[in-house]
Amino acid sequence: MSHRISFKLFESLTPAGIVAAVVVFTVSSFVVDFARKPRYPDALPRVGSGGGSFLGTLRNCFLFITRYNSWVTEGYEKYSKHGRAFVVPSAPSRPQEIVVPRSQTAWMLELPDRVLSTQEAHEDALYNDYQFFGVDDQLPIQTIHRSLARNLVGLIPGVQEEVHGAIDATFGKDTEGWKSLTLWDAWLGIVPRVTNRIIVGAPLCRNQEFLDSQVAFADDIIRNSFILAMFPRIFQPLVAPFLVLANWWHWRKSYRHAKPLIEQRLHDMARKASGADPAYEDWQPPEDMVTWLIRQATADGLGPKLTAEVVSKGILPVEFAAIHTTVMTGFNLLLDLLSSDPALGYLETIREETARVFAEESGAWTKQGLTRLHRTDSAIKESMRLSHMARALTHRKVVAREGVTNAAEGWHAPYGASLMLDLVGTHRDPELYPDPDRYDPWRFSRQREEYEARPAGEKTDPDEAVRAKWLGMVTTSAEYLPFSHGRHACPGRFFVAHELKMILAYLVQNYEIKPLPERPKTMWLGANIIPPVQAKIEVRRRKGTV
């Protein structure tokens, strides 16, 4: 009897039958996914087509790739500017998002983590359980919060050394012939090396195979996140284990190089802490992310569980967060500067300011010196305002089982709902930024310079002094969101600001770069920007530089 049943089942596996089964399973998966997603009140306006129905949601899931940016733009003009939230379609595996208007930013960001969670929003978007091997990214985030800022002053000399070495290696020292470079690859030659000076220190930060593996791991995260977002969640346990094989492979390649360093650091710090070895009485560990992770884990009672493998996986979220965001920012910055009218003298102005302050600092950057680069700071901040990497960078997930009710409008977001702030709409709003589609590098430095140029007797308003100081690129607000805003704003932004200023200063002081006739076009893919990574520049070492 069982043989006859097996034969009939096998007999039914015709090509048409297999296709039909796949179609039924796929459609059923979307139906199950739809039923599990949070439902939003009908009173909330929607962009896209089909409202909140199953067919409308399904259709929008696939239009999401090409239409998402225009949907949010439409919603910003219709609703956000008038203080109203709206719902925008998302990718197949993701719940639709409630776009919270700027007027309600404080309400959204001040709610406690037990109600709206940044961590769970990030984990859902990046599929952490699959992609980061289940590593809890809260330890590295806490470590950065507690250790990076307090060690920043001491890190600057090493970062400066790495900036100079990385740029020289990438751009060369030929003062005669022009060298053609792919700009994206050039930034990948600089940022990973400089960033890893504070993660793993020298000389490992110069090991090219280690750096290439970390960059490839970051690429894996971005690619896999997009692919997984397009599958219903019921598919993901089937698909993800195959996708993340690349993650595992690239981590293993980097771990081979990092393992000796981490094992030695664990041994040395344990001997130092024991107090039993006189040889370690005067020894101090290097101040880098490896040391900080070990120190933080030990303080949290996790010391006995620490191994080189655990520490190596612990730096992965930091590598991912630091590399591509900084590369994209620097890449956009040079495109914005080089595609501006050369007659406006933007690069020459930055060259004059950075050379003058560098000389005042006796040829070694300090925190105070970098802080005085008002126009350089403004040029970077203006590029971050104008040239984006995503439609939004501030997301929250409702984790309170009872959901959350919006105080201003009265709508209710259930458990599992997703909320976001619209970065692009805010940054391109002419009511906030006059002529918002133009790159104006001194947009933020003019007011600051005007204030500082006044006689001391005219600087009597303390509020004005604070406002002038807050024009710097690391200051976040409801109107300026590249680093997000509130208590979960990017904790590494102070380092990034120093890093980018040092890179730009060394570039303009030591290299000529030909202007671009126009800015290469970007492309939207869902909620993210695809940069013109094939854009090329021509550079030459300036004569008279070392």
Separation between Cα atoms, residue 247 and residue 250, nearest integer Å: 5
| Cis status of the peptide bond prior to 203, with omega within 30 of 0 | yes
Separation between Cα atoms, residue 330 and residue 129, nearest integer Å: 30
Separation between Cα atoms, residue 358 and residue 263, nearest integer Å: 39
Report CA dihedral (395, 145, 292, 254) to the nearest 10 degrees: 30
Biggest distance spanned by C-alpha atoms of the chain: 101
478 and 105 Cβ atoms separated by less than 8 Å: yes
- Which residue, 280, 260, 262, 263, is CA-closest to 271? 280
375 and 441 Cβ atoms separated by less than 8 Å: yes
Separation between Cα atoms, residue 309 and residue 211, nearest integer Å: 17
88 and 68 Cβ atoms separated by less than 8 Å: yes
Separation between Cα atoms, residue 284 and residue 282, nearest integer Å: 7
Separation between Cα atoms, residue 76 and residue 83, nearest integer Å: 10
First to last CA, the chain: 87
Cβ atoms within 10 Å, residue 255? 18
Q: Provide the H-helix boundaries in 132-182.
A: 138-171
DSSP β-bridge partners for residue 418: 97, 397
| Residue 205 counted as an annotated binding residue | no
DSSP state of 278: G
192 and 214 Cβ atoms separated by less than 8 Å: yes
215 and 319 Cβ atoms separated by less than 8 Å: no
- For 49, the token pair is 């087509």
- The set of residues, in sequence order, having a beta carbon less than 8 Å from that of 221 and lying 6+ positions away, is 126, 131, 247, 320
Separation between Cα atoms, residue 467 and residue 452, nearest integer Å: 12
Q: Provide the H-helix boundaries in 181-244.
A: 183-199, 208-229, 236-243
536 and 520 Cβ atoms separated by less than 8 Å: no
Annotated binding site for heme: 490
Annotated binding site: 490
